[in-house]
Structure 1
């Protein structure tokens, strides 16, 4: 989603693509404070171990680290606080139903600016087993070797 015109990607969760099969993608807004937005503009955000949970019909992201804004002093919030995600109720109910299926979870994939608003790309993911990870690594290495061979042949 962040590759559209008028969007600027801030960070991506590369570990999610390694650990999960991404079945579907969704866009959500994030409820943030001003100093958090300024910190995100500086690129001081980490999605590595973040995940989403449901509570009382609302969607929350946990484990997303936004470093404190250096000029924010008393207005800075806890870097690991739980943040509410902004989506329509029907979308949240739909995602809640899908995540109740076995093995599915909601994982943040990337954070980007869409015009002046901070958006979070969520992935409906199914966990990879160890042999799946090995297969994807082997496929990536094979593709890299084929690209090298084609490049060498075209010289």
Structure 2
């Protein structure tokens, strides 16, 4: 079922807030976007680009996402999103988010490089106390590229 305008706006905000908070390294705040019993399923690149590694519970999600702090910078750009509310359970929704995720690190030669994942999230959302939260997120990587970085803001 197509979400109401209010639900669509709230789900859009949730998706964009996630990416911005991750890039700001505000991992505890990112955790607040997940249900307490949330599931995050991650790939294990380069051996697997499919979601295979399960992380269960809000605290474990925060810990898993906290590993991104090891990069000099990250930048996540949402390039598309769809969502549908469950007709039988209007407090549940599913969605898919297309994203370009840049992860800047230092290469062996000391130069900055950009590890880019072109990915999508398959999401399940739950309406909890009037607020949409991520109940399950499975990340699939479609393409991985690397390239040079000219400058990183410090």
Which range, TM-score by smaller chain? Answer: under 0.3
**TM-score of the pair, normalised by structure 2:** 0.27
Bigger Rg, which one: 1
**TM-score of the pair, normalised by structure 1:** 0.27
Q: Which has the higher helix share?
A: 1
